[in-house]
Amino acid sequence: MGHAEWDEIDKKDSEIGCPFKTVEDVLSFDPLTEYKLPDIDIITTRFKNRFKEAEELFTDAVVTGGRYNSLFSACIRTFGWDMFLTSVPGNEEKFDRILEGFFKIT
């Protein structure tokens, strides 16, 4: 979380960078336009299938399902630590629109 390294079988990609260069870049971002609202039927089917697969694979385990996702982890994943932490102070009302978008998606 919050870093731009990619690792697949010990390969690193340090060329990945944050597309947000300024606070205004962050404040003009609209999560709903970029990511769209998820289709509830598709998500429900996906979670049911994964839950069933996990129960079949791990017969002696309790399968809790789901995943943890928060408004803050969405911001960190989207903007990176630096741009997230730099963009909020003094811009709370503008940033609230972004949080509302992530809230609706989540």
Compute CA 52 distance to the chain's CA centroid, rounded to the nearest angstrom. Answer: 24
C-alpha span between 58 and 61 (Å, rounded)? 5
C-alpha span between 95 and 74 (Å, rounded)? 13
pLDDT 10s digits, 64-74: 876 677 889 99
Contact criterion met (CB below 8 Å) for 27 and 95: yes
Taking the alpha carbons at both ends of the chain, their separation in whole angstroms is 18
Domain chopping of the chain, boundaries: 23-105
pLDDT 10s digits, 10-44: 555 555 678 899 999 999 999 999 998 888 899 88
State the pTM of this model. Answer: 0.69
